[in-house]
Amino acid sequence: MKRVVKMQTNNINTVPATINKQDMALQISGTAKSFIRRSAQVLSILCFVAIAVLASCDMKPRIGFLMDSLEIERWNKDKALFEEKVKELGGVAVIAVADSDPDKQLEQARQMIDEGVDVLVVVPVDLEKAGEIVKLAHQSYVPVISYDRLIKNCNLDYYVSTDNINIGELQANYLTKISPQGNYVLISGPTSDYNAYLLHLGWMNVLQPLIDKGDINVVLDEFSEFWLPDEAYRILSQYLKDKNEVDAIICGNDALASGAIAALKEHKKDGRVLLAGQDADIQAVRNIVAGYQTITIYKPIESLAFAAANAAIKISDGEAPSNMHITVNNGKRLVPAILLQASIVNSQNIKMTVIQEGYIGEQDIFN
């Protein structure tokens, strides 16, 4: 019988007499190799999972949204809705605001393209200069959607907006039905925004026959530098210093309309002159309730944001948007487009329009 020598637990160098030290070393070596092998397998699985997760993230379409400014109320809604819709459709929205600086917007576009966005959606600061964004994007095979405002004289891919000529016609039609004769003031937006021209065209489609008949006299017709209240205040105040003949005012948006109201108040004419704006800003709707503004135009912002987001996601997947049934000439090509319809908001239908649509809360208007 072999004698077994007990191991001392406190002495690592003590080995049972029946075990060869070389054999023990080989056993330890085999165990270590097995442990290393199992660890390598686990590590390999973890790496595969990590790569799969990262690949999944990278597979989400990245949609760049280049915006002009957030100074006007409605653009904050566009921003939030577009971001929400892109996320719902499985993409990631990358947003930059140019603060009304066309050069800054171009640099933001360059950065987004360098960072690998799949599609650019652009609210152009300047209708002509934004063409450089389209050229830059196409060099990297990035398609461009013009949002709300048309980018002119370039190979623009797509255009999503409302029918701005129709909006101008809605404004002019409403006021001329109330006052088919009289002195009209027209305050358009900036010439850097093609929408200003389209709205003016819509106005004149309605007004020109009445002008030709001698029923309406356009006593003031000016484009502003920006879509801001101070612009309309300056333009109208200067006119009212010398003349008081004004029966109706059509403004390119609600911000301009609010500036017109301020000028009218100074000359004791607030509530006595017909006034049209657009965008359905909260303050504009309050002004309608108060009797300072006659109408505003409600653009379906949620539908607009969804249409642009949906088109961008489809394009990023290599599909053509299926609902672009018309084209718009941007001076260079016929651009596939979606043009949504807007609606009039007046004192009688506020609850049936902006409140019912959830665009503005009732308490925000009447409290």
Q: What is the pLDDT along the chain (367 residues), one digit of tens a residue?
A: 333 333 333 443 433 444 454 554 445 455 545 544 565 554 555 544 444 444 444 589 999 999 999 999 899 999 999 999 999 999 999 999 999 999 999 999 999 999 999 999 999 999 999 999 999 999 999 999 999 999 999 999 999 999 999 999 999 999 999 999 999 999 999 999 999 999 999 999 999 999 999 999 999 999 999 999 999 999 999 999 988 889 999 999 999 999 999 999 999 999 999 999 999 999 999 999 999 999 999 999 999 999 999 999 999 999 989 889 899 999 999 999 999 999 999 999 999 999 998 899 999 998 7
Question: Listing from the earlier edge strand, what are the strands of the sheet with 248-251?
Answer: 216-223, 182-188, 248-251, 274-276
DSSP symbol at 191? T
For residue 173, report the phi and psi dihedrals to the nearest 5 degrees. -60, -45
Q: Residue 167: CB partners within 8 Å, gap ≥ 6?
A: 199, 202, 278, 297, 299, 342
Q: Residue 182: CB partners within 8 Å, gap ≥ 6?
A: 216, 217, 247, 248
**Whole-prediction pTM:** 0.82
Q: Residue 255: CB partners within 8 Å, gap ≥ 6?
A: 72, 227, 228, 229, 232, 277, 279, 281
**Backbone conformation region of residue 271, classed left if phi is above 0, alpha if psi is from -120 to 50, else beta:** left
Is residue 280 classed as helix, strand or coil in its secondary structure? coil
Distance between CA atoms of 124 and 131, rounded to whole angstroms? 9
Distance between CA atoms of 232 and 146, rounded to whole angstroms? 27
Return the pLDDT at 59: 84
Spatial contact of 140 and 318, defined as CB atoms under 8 Å apart: no
Name residue, tokens 């699985």: 45
Spatial contact of 215 and 181, defined as CB atoms under 8 Å apart: yes
Distance between CA atoms of 222 and 234, rounded to whole angstroms? 11
- Write b or e for each residue in 222-252: b if 16 or more Cβ atoms lie within 10 A of its Cβ, otherwise e: ebbebbbbebbbebbbebbeeeeebbbbbbb
DSSP symbol at 295? B
Query: Tokens for 113?
Result: 């393209």
Return the pLDDT at 39: 52
Q: Residue 204: CB partners within 8 Å, gap ≥ 6?
A: none
Name residue, tokens 């000028």: 263
